[in-house]
A and B are shown apart, each in its own frame.
Chain A
Amino acid sequence: AQKITQTQPGMFVQEKEAVTLDCTYDTSDPSYGLFWYKQPSSGEMIFLIYQGSYDQQNATEGRYSLNFQKARKSANLVISASQLGDSAMYFCAMRGGLYNFNKFYFGSGTKLNVKP
């Protein structure tokens, strides 16, 4: 069964500090894609970063990086130098590969609060 687990319902971080949001996944697919989305209080879903299962290097996009540990089936999001505007809900998601290409699976989310 395909599953995404986010074990941190809520987190606080001080402005300008780095924060790691945890994500573990379970899949029987030999290939898959991992995504992180941000949902501000206004409700829209914003794509942040992508990591393919065969990518050798961890993905980075500006202040966002993905700490991908394939053997541990984890894909943690690291936000460096947190800003007040980073306060939002964050979702980890997986797209299946060979066997579940059309399916997307989401975690339950982590609500991040950045303190001034």
Chain B
Amino acid sequence: EAQVTQNPRYLITVTGKKLTVTCSQNMNHEYMSWYRQDPGLGLRQIYYSMNVEVTDKGDVPEGYKVSRKEKRNFPLILESPSPNQTSLYFCASSPSRGDSPLHFGNGTRLTVT
């Protein structure tokens, strides 16, 4: 089954404790990206990657890191999480075509205390 898999689904952590949210897709998509969803703000793009070893900032990259060492994987790293990073996070992928929709993972609900 074609899918984007995110783990974990739920994560509660404390301020400053490094964490990684994994994302993997099995559709051989070139493009992958991360979003955070906050009430009243919709989804905002954090980082994106056009292909292996090619990443760039979205609209809200502060406090996040990413890497794309393999085509299928695009982990999101929070090196020192803070409470304002409490949010619902989505990973998504698509072919590199303008008319291609994003395929989303099921989301990761992160709480930083």
Contacts and interface: CB of A to CB of B under 8 A. Distances in A.
A42 B63 CA distance: 28
Contacts, number: 60
A6 B104 CA distance: 21
B42 A33 contact: no
Contacts of A9: 40
Interface stretch (B13-21, B73-81, B94-102): B94-102
Interface stretch (A13-21, A62-70, A72-80, A99-107): A99-107
Interface of A: 4, 6, 9, 31-33, 35, 37, 43-45, 47, 50, 52, 91, 93, 95, 97, 101-109
Interface of B: 31, 33, 35, 40-45, 48, 50, 56, 58-59, 88, 90, 92, 98-99, 101-104, 106-107
A44 to B, nearest CB: 6
